[in-house]
Amino acid sequence: MRRSGDTLLTGGDYYMHLADLPSYTEAQTRATALYADRNEWARRALLNIAGSGRFSSDRTISQYAAEIWNTKPCPVP
């Protein structure tokens, strides 16, 4: 029985699954170190949340409803 990793290593990596593995593991190492610093993790999490307003799903859905689906909001009592 072949392990799934064997297929990638010996059968060819047609979809390039392993192409960014080194950069992925480097990013994971940095994220792990950052997570250990609770204050910096919290600071960055808050900055991420604060900066996400423009790209929120509510805005996106409202924009799609108005511009693509040509619908109007339906108030919920």
Over residues 3-47, the pLDDT tens digits come to 767 777 787 888 888 889 999 999 999 999 999 999 999 999 999
CB atoms near residue 62 (< 10 Å): 13
Which amino acid appears at position 66 of this protein?
A
pTM of the complete model beyond 0.75: no
Angle, helix 21-36 to helix 38-51, in steps of 10 degrees = 110
**What distance in Å separates the CA atoms of residue 76 and residue 74, rounded to the nearest whole number?**
6
The tally of CA atoms less than 13 A away on the side-chain side of residue 6 is: 3
